[in-house]
Amino acid sequence: MEGLPPGLLAARREAVLEALGRGVMVLAAAPILRRSRDTEHSYRPDSDLFYLTGATEPHTVAVLAGGDEPRFVLFAQERDPAAELWTGERVGPEAAAERFGADETYPLAELEARLPVLLRESDRVYYRLGRVGDLEGMVLEALAYARSRGQRKGIGPRALMDPGAILDEMRLLKDEVELRRLRSAAEATVAGHRAALDTIRPGVGEWAVQASVEAAFLREGATAPGFGTIVGSGSNACFLHYVDNRKMVAEGDLVLVDAGAEVALYNGDVTRTVPASGRFGDLQRAVYDVVERARTAAVAAGRPGGSIGGVHDAAVAVLVEGLVALGVLTGSVEDLVEQEAYKPFYPHQTSHWIGLDVHDPGDYAREGTSRTLEPGMVFTVEPGLYFRPGVDGPAARFEGIGVRIEDDVVVTEAGCENLTAALPTAPEEIEALVAEGAGRSRGRG
């Protein structure tokens, strides 16, 4: 994996050290997760640790200590030829100083002894509880030790804080390096969805669509899907996080594909809903058109000076207008929005931040007011309408129809850039792409 520029990482750490004052931040590598017995899941580095250090190995701990002599201390696994035969070469503490720009590096085995010393003159400790078992115990013991030894001198930490108090705001605004990676993730994500359009047709398993999407991700340089790929055909599209992907696509089904590629640890997240038979049915098209208008309105609202809540409000207003036009809701749009009468058909928010994490950190509101959008903020726009099985009343004629359309956008100085605009959303273009894909499939057959 291509590393982040050393100068960029150093600047980020300098900003954190300044914000820490006399505090200390402790960041740990993500744990190795077991799939079953001695079989491990593919390792995925911790996002905060990578953001500040570029380190991607398990069993790595970074300590950023503020105060009169601010420094970056890194603890890493020692070299072990026997273990490396199985899992690959380790950096080791000796090489870590040069590779990651640490002021001091030590073997991980020394962490327990050195951590209390690093904490003893701090006034607070930034550490995320509940992340890593052994380290959490060390942090709490070191905290107690530092407080007891500093009691008579009036020094030592008096508070335990979440690192997000500093890092979440930094990670919310993407720099140019991050935007390049997000554009690459968006391109790979679009390629995966185009592969889905080549595969979707009646008689194909949802799992086969998933396979085509994820294979295209890997061909485009992704390391993995950023999250469990969703392929929901027919009424399965009405379940927001359906990931079983075990149903056969039927004639006349809509197929909702929600998938994103992870490229250099940055993520895409896109949804398209397409007709398996190549043409939308009348009711399907009526619902799709409403959602597409909502997506267009929401993207337009994603401009500097607007708010993330305003993006949602723009989508909701169009969706409610559409539900009234479809005969699903009755009354004034304003009253229906205020009453949240749309919630049975649109239960989720329109956007989430995206970056190193698919759901990236960052507050959506401050002191009860929706967050103002600034250049460098990257988020999804994903309105939808879902008429779940068993829906009654005027909505019953749309039963089993689920539509979501999602793009990834970045706020710019001039407005809003759609990173995934290369993948069409217009219904006529979607129909044409499905037809082309079906034609290529017949030709291969």
Domain boundaries, the chain: 6-170, 173-444
Catalytic residue among 241, 366, 442, 444: 241
Cα separation, 131 vs 127, in Å, equals 9
Averaged pLDDT for residues 32-41: 90
> Which 8-state DSSP code applies to residue 261?
E
The predicted structure's pLDDT at residue 139 = 86
**Is 359 annotated as catalytic?**
yes
Q: If pLDDT is split at 50, 70 and 90, which confidence band does 157 have?
A: confident
For the domain bounded by 6-170, which CATH number is listed? 3.40.350.10
Catalytic residue among 262, 292, 406, 407: 406
Catalytic residue among 46, 262, 382, 408: 382
Q: If pLDDT is split at 50, 70 and 90, which confidence band does 323 have?
A: very high
Catalytic residue among 295, 404, 407, 408: 404
Catalytic residue among 57, 266, 386, 408: 386
**Is 241 annotated as catalytic?**
yes
**Is 386 annotated as catalytic?**
yes
The predicted structure's pLDDT at residue 263 = 98
Catalytic residue among 99, 114, 303, 348: 348
Tokens representing 185?
Answer: 């993730």
| Sign of the torsion angle spanned by Cα atoms 174, 176, 179, 181 | negative
CA distances from 138 to 37, 53, 163, 241, 314 (A): 27, 21, 17, 37, 48
SS3 letters for 27-67? EECCCCCEEECCEECCCCCCHHHHHHHCCCCCCCEEEEECC
Residues 6+ apart with CB under 8 A from 108: 59, 60, 61, 75, 76, 77, 78
Please name the residue ranges forming H helices in 62-174.
81-87, 92-100, 111-119, 133-149, 164-172
Evaluate whether 101 touches 14 at the Cβ level (below 8 Å): no
- Cα three-residue angle 16-22-26, rounded to 5 degrees: 55
Catalytic residue among 79, 99, 352, 388: 352
Tokens representing 305?
Answer: 């000076």
Global pTM exceeds 0.75: yes
Q: Which CATH class is domain 173-444?
A: alpha beta
Q: Over the stretch 165-192, which tens digit does the pLDDT of each residue have?
A: 999 999 999 999 999 999 999 999 999 9
The predicted structure's pLDDT at residue 144 = 81
Q: Over the stretch 334-345, which tens digit does the pLDDT of each residue have?
A: 999 999 999 999
Task: Name the E strands within 377-439.
Answer: 378-381, 384-386, 402-404, 407-411, 416-418
Evaluate whether 168 touches 134 at the Cβ level (below 8 Å): no
Cα separation, 284 vs 431, in Å, equals 12
- pLDDT of 145 above 90: no
Evaluate whether 369 touches 352 at the Cβ level (below 8 Å): no
Averaged pLDDT for residues 192-221: 97
Q: Over the stretch 227-254, which tens digit does the pLDDT of each residue have?
A: 999 999 999 999 999 999 999 999 999 9
Which residue, among 58, 59, 78, 61, has the nearest Cα to 24 in the 3D structure? 61
The predicted structure's pLDDT at residue 138 = 83
**Is 90 annotated as catalytic?**
no
**Is 352 annotated as catalytic?**
yes
